[in-house]
Chain A
Amino acid sequence: MSLVLKAEKIGKWYGNVLGLSDVTIEIGPGITGLLGPNGAGKSTLLKLLTGQLRPSIGRLTVDGRPVWNNTALFRRIGFCPEQDAFYDEVTGDEFLTGLLRLHGYAEAEARRRAGRALEIVELAGGGDRLIRGYSRGMRQRIKIAQAIAHEPEVLILDEPLSGLDPLSKRKIIRLIKDYRSEGRTVVVSSHVLPEIEALTRSIVLIHQGKILAQGDIPYIRELIDAHPHVVAVRSADPRRLGSLLVADRAVQSVSYGPEENLVTFETRQRDRFFDLLPRVVAESGLDLEEITSPDDNLQAVFDYLVGK
């Protein structure tokens, strides 16, 4: 059975500073992206999920059991922190073996698992090198290796792609996706939208300690009634296309430009609009060059929700 992370009305204060407020979410198998600007409360939520912080209020469970102080559950959770968290004076192999020993694995088993984790993150050749000599990408990968070495059912990654070059980012994205395909629960936090988009469509948006939305991107987009969908169409005769569609109740507004062949529609009934558009085009014999939905991406969703 896969593990489900469940937070019910949790809050966390640091003295007078609010870390999280009234957070209720349920995270199941697959990759879930935790998205929010710096200081939004992502790391606090992840530390609560990994049992390193106790909620000031509310209930937080993994597999139905409270996480705080539940060391038995920690065996089933892998955590990759945002900052580097290792001694430079040890080798990658020693680092992993030492941490695996904390789980209770015998020396030989710990070594075997360390070797396997290094292979998975493509660091097999660097296991006997001191971490001091690792590049930024290698350090990030060894951090992920320590999180997966004990084969946890839940993997929690705090900004795993931060500061990496594109090649290293691609490697880690592939690694995380592979992990997801094995049916485990993966939570990835980031403040960089494209990073989350590259990993998953299932997101939790967090801002100022509160969950703004949860679900996949189109679903969240649907929920935003205040902001109509924008559909941009390139056509040889944009004005004629606009005049044919503007009368329908699905279309809220029509605008032209900035390029000559571009017409932009705003609609609150996306499904109806996309039923209508091909029908009108077919009947009128108009040529279409391109249909895009510029606000159907995470950046637009996020901007709407945080009120930019």
Chain B
Amino acid sequence: MPIAEQGYVHWEGRLDARRRPWRPIARLGIRLAFRRKYFKFVLGMAFLPALIFAAGVYISERIGDFREMLRGADRFLKIDPDFFKAFFASDYLLFWMLIIMVLAGAGLISDDLRHNALQLYFARPLRKKDYLQGKIFTLAFFLLLLTLVPGFLFILLKIIFSGSFAVLAEFPWLPASVAGWSLFAAAFFSLCTLAVSSLSRNRRYASILLIAAYFLSDIFFGIFFGIFRDPHFALLSVKTNLQQVAAAFLGARPLFDVPWAYSAAVLAALAGLAGFVLARRVRGAEVIR
């Protein structure tokens, strides 16, 4: 074979030594999410509880000024673990977190499968681990924005409005609980969303599957609980399991008389299954059959 001259010049610059190859994946995911129709509106809706609860923190310090308006509802404005549980485990917040996952996450892997983008990623110095980290970070970014940021903001506002650290003295575990629950919820939602996304090359199917899994599990719980009145059927519901574990993280009373560890085990099993699905479905080259 002919050997041509070595005319090209090597680049003299240096590559990033602390290379984090997942970052470009995460950045692209976040950027594309914001380009989605209605995404900003949905994100705004998901922030509504945070605004209301932030107002609640303010009012809790000005209870006297608002006494007429509250008419006995002031017991809800005690800033304690139950206040945080009411925020983190609310149906409303969990619903909008799900919708955020559908809009930002359902297509994260299915779009790559549809566009055959995996082979481009994995022909580069990028491992499967880096790819999944990038995708998880995309979702975790939005989820932590809705949980971790408001959680710490409430604590900060309470300290500012009260002018003391009494809330931390009374509940010293609260910051760790807020961080722990936020990270747990982010990891669970991200893994499950990505696993569902990897099951289809069509983001619409992935979206439908996500919503169906969330609501059907709750409907089944409602049906069985209605018939048998046994709170253990709460374990069938993704939403209720999340609420039980949230209460446990925050040191609050759970909604149902079922050990929170059972719910944690159900969620861990689902996350484990999601991890297994991801490991099987995400591969660089398509397998020809």
Which A residues fall within an 8 A CB radius of B? 2, 14-15, 17, 19, 28-30, 32, 43-44, 47, 50-53, 71-72, 74-75, 77, 79, 81, 83-90, 94, 98-99, 101-106, 109, 146, 151, 180-184, 202, 216
The answer for the CA separation of A99 and B28 in the assembled complex, in Å, is 10
A87 pairs with B32, CB closer than 8 A? yes
Does B90 belong to the interface (CB within 8 Å)?
A: no
The reply to whether A32 and B289 form a contact with Cβ atoms under 8 Å apart is: no
Instruction: Tell me the complex Cα distance, A53–B119, Å.
Output: 10
**Contact size class for B?**
35 or more
Q: For B115, what are the chain A residues with a Cβ–Cβ distance below 8 Å?
A: 84-88
Is the C-beta of B16 less than 8 angstroms from some C-beta in chain A?
yes
Interface residues of A: mostly helix, strand, loop or mixed? Answer: loop
CB within 8 Å for A47 and B119 given contacts A14-B289, A104-B19: yes
Q: Of B7-15, B168-176, B192-200, which binds chain A? A: B7-15
Chain A: minimal CB distance from B139 (Å): 17
A2 touches B123 (CB 8 A): no
The secondary-structure label for the interface of chain B is loop
6 example contacts (A-B, Cβ-Cβ < 8 A) are as follows A81-B116, A86-B117, A86-B120, A101-B23, A151-B10, A182-B7
Q: For residue B4, which residues in chain A have a CB less than 8 angstroms away from its CB?
A: 29-30, 180-183
Whole-angstrom distance between the alpha carbons of A237 and B285 in the complex? 61
B122 touches A19 (CB 8 A): no
Known contacts A30-B1, A30-B2, A81-B119; is-contact A103 B7 (Cβ 8 Å): no
Given contacts A29-B1, A72-B125, contact A79 B32 (CB under 8 A): no
Shortest A180–chain B CB gap in Å is: 6
Chain B positions within 8 Å of A30 at CB level: 1-4
With A28-B3, A151-B11 in contact, do A19 and B288 touch (Cβ < 8 Å)?
A: yes
Q: Complex formed: what's the CA distance from A90 to B115 in Å?
A: 12
Report chain B residues within 8 Å CB of A71: 124-127
Given contacts A71-B127, A104-B125, A184-B8, 11 further A-B contacts (CB under 8 A): A30-B4, A32-B1, A47-B284, A52-B284, A72-B125, A85-B120, A87-B28, A98-B24, A102-B126, A151-B11, A183-B6
B24 and A101 contact, CB distance less than 8 A: yes
Confirm or deny: B121 has a beta carbon within 8 angstroms of a beta carbon on chain A: yes
Interchain CA distance A71-B288 in the complex, whole Å: 23
For window 1-51 of B, CB contacts with A under 8 Å fall at: 1-8, 10-11, 13, 15-16, 19, 21, 23-25, 27-28, 31-32, 35
CB <8 Å contact, A85 and B119: yes
- Are B288 and A182 closer than 8 Å at their CB atoms? no
Q: Which A-chain residue is minimally distant from B35 (CB atoms)?
A: A89
Interface status of B287 (Cβ within 8 A of chain A)? yes
Cβ-closest chain A residue relative to B9: A151
Report if B111 contacts A (CB, 8 A).
yes
Smallest distance from the beta carbon of A144 to chain B beta carbons, Å?
Answer: 12
Contact check, A89 vs B32: say whether CB atoms are below 8 A apart.
Answer: yes
Alpha-carbon distance A181/B31, docked complex (angstroms): 39
CB of A99 within 8 A of CB of B124, answer yes
- A102 B125 Cβ-Cβ under 8 A: yes
Given contacts A14-B287, A19-B288, A98-B28, contact A81 B120 (CB under 8 A): yes
A75 contact set on B, CB distance < 8 A: 15, 124-125
